[in-house]
Structure 1
Amino acid sequence: MALDLTGKTAFVSGSTQGIGFAIAKRLAEAGARVGINGRSAHKVEAAILILAKDGLPEELLIGAPGDVTTDEGLTEALGAVGEVDILVNNLGIFGAQPALEIPDADWQRFWEVNVLSAVRLIRATLPKMMARGWGRVVNIASDSAVVIPAEMIHYGATKSALLAVSRGFAKEAAGSGVTVNSVLAGPTLTAGIEDLVYQLVDSSKSWAEAQREFMQEHRAQSLLHRLIEPEEIGNMVAYLASPLASATTGGALRVDGGYVDSILP
């Protein structure tokens, strides 16, 4: 299948590293102009330099720095990109914390970053997509939305909320030519997951040993028995962003390595 996004403009929140970076790269490989977003202009420039060195045309890579958890940062970031055809809400934070020790401030911070930033970006871009009769919104959720991890229930709760946000806005966009979906990403090999792994297992172990112990003891339901590569998430997002996925909307699609024990998507 040819995933041709030539002529489309995408915005990927939190795309200077990890899953967001891999998504931005895959969309640009498919021909889309992609807004690379992060709070730091320096990190945005560094990410673009890496993508350009990988052979992606510089004219497809748009620096879009700005903290999208604030109105000012969101306006700045979207203003650098222009009209958005494909919105990917990837920005998110996570971390292990005993359930009874999570203070209100942390609950509020996770809600602002993981849920409200997505809502604000959708509100800012969806109406114009609907008016043009074409658009894609993809929200990066998590297997933790369904299998709430005991060590970070505040994270799981926000990702559950993001599934509801996706389904609700899909209904708002019904019949317009715009699709809204979420992707349930499983445990993925990023810098952030390395920090989490070493929070939960012996920090003196090698990365290979630590990863193996983490999967065995904390993510034993995974059918892959390994961490997912960010590029594997990017492939699903690129498909959902393409014209080929025109009949897929309101869905929660899994790239979780079989972690969620369900026969339904």
Structure 2
Amino acid sequence: MLIDLSGKTALVTGSTQGIGAAIASGLARAGARVAVNGRSEKSVDEAMLRMEVGDGSLIAAPGDVSTDEGARAVFGAVPQVDVLVNNLGVFGSMPALEISDDEWRRYFDLNVLTAVRMIRHYLPGMMERSWGRIQNIASDSAVVTPAEMIHYGMSKTALLAVSRGFAKEAAGTGVTVNSVMAGPTHTGGVEDFVYELVDSELPWEEAQREFMRTHRPQSLLQRLIEPEEIANMVVYLSSPFASATTGGALRVDGGYVDSILP
């Protein structure tokens, strides 16, 4: 399948590292003009130097999209997009009874309301042009709530509802809205998270195996997913080939969710 996104402009929030950077690179290699987003100009410029773009191109769109001021800066850099990928998010472990009200609000604001803010800005233009792709990067934690991070799981569950609701708003317009449920994925942040839960003296490969065996035993891959594997799904959903897929929660979870339904 040859995916050609030439002539399309994409924005990936939180795309200076990890899954976001892999998605930005994947979209660019498919020919898109991709706006790379991070909090600072420095982090964006450094990320763009590391990315492989193929036939596509990159533009800088720095700004903290979790704030009104930062979002306005991004909107100024990228007034309209054909593909919006809401990837920005935070995660971390904390005992359930120790999560404060402020921390609950922080997770909801960053992981849910930030995506809503971006959709609210870009969706009307997509609907007017009768074409667009919106994807919210969710998680297996949306349906398999981890005991050690229920505030994170809550936010990703809410993101599934946001995706389904905006898909209904865009019904019949040529715009699709979906969630991509990423499973346990190998990023720098996840390495730190793994070492919070297993012996920090273990070499990485042993630590990863111990983490999967002890904390994510239901994974059918029995390994962490690579960011590029998440990006492959996002690139497909961003293409004309995915025109009949909307309102869905598509799993790239390595079989982590024990269900025969999406």
What do the CA deviations read for 1:4-32 (whole angstroms, capped 9, x no partner)?
10000000000000000000000000000
1:47 corresponds in structure 2 to: 47
Query: Aligned runs of 1:1-265 on 2, under 5 Å?
Result: 1-51=1-51, 54=52, 56=54, 60-265=57-262
Cα RMSD between the aligned structures?
0.9
For normalisation by structure 2, the TM-score amounts to: 0.98
Please state whether the residue corresponding to 1:136 is helix, strand or coil: strand
- Asked if structure 1 preserves the Cα contact closer than 8 Å seen for 2:140 and 2:257, the reply is yes
Aligned residues: 262
What do the CA deviations read for 1:198-245 (whole angstroms, capped 9, x no partner)?
010111111111100000000000000000000000000000000000
Distance 2:8 2:53 in 1: 19
Higher mean Cα deviation, 135-144 or 71-80? 71-80
Distance 1:107 1:4 in 2: 40
Structure 1, gaps ≥5 residues long: none
For normalisation by structure 1, the TM-score amounts to: 0.97
Please state whether the residue corresponding to 2:119 is helix, strand or coil: helix
Distance 1:97 1:180 in 2: 31
Distance 1:35 1:244 in 2: 22
Please state whether the residue corresponding to 1:137 is helix, strand or coil: strand
Letter in 2 for 1:111: F
Please state whether the residue corresponding to 2:244 is helix, strand or coil: coil
Distance 1:60 1:76 in 2: 20
Seen in structure 2, the aligned counterparts of structure 1 residues 103 and 219 have a Cα distance that, compared at 3 Å, is same
Distance 2:212 2:37 in 1: 31
What do the CA deviations read for 1:38-93 (whole angstroms, capped 9, x no partner)?
00110000011112xx3546x71010000001111111012112311100000000
**Per-residue deviation, 1:172:** 0.2
Distance 1:75 1:178 in 2: 23
Please state whether the residue corresponding to 2:14 is helix, strand or coil: coil
> Which consecutive aligned stretches of 4+ in structure 1 deviate over 6 angstroms post-superposition?
none
Higher mean Cα deviation, 73-82 or 197-206? 73-82
- Asked if structure 1 preserves the Cα contact closer than 8 Å seen for 2:63 and 2:71, the reply is yes
Letter in 2 for 1:130: M
- The alignment-based identity, stated in percent, is 70
Distance 1:91 1:55 in 2: 21
Distance 2:222 2:201 in 1: 22
Structure 2, gaps ≥5 residues long: none
Letter in 2 for 1:212: R
Distance 2:81 2:23 in 1: 16
Please state whether the residue corresponding to 2:59 is helix, strand or coil: strand
- Asked if structure 1 preserves the Cα contact closer than 8 Å seen for 2:29 and 2:53, the reply is no
Letter in 1 for 2:109: E
Distance 1:55 1:217 in 2: 38
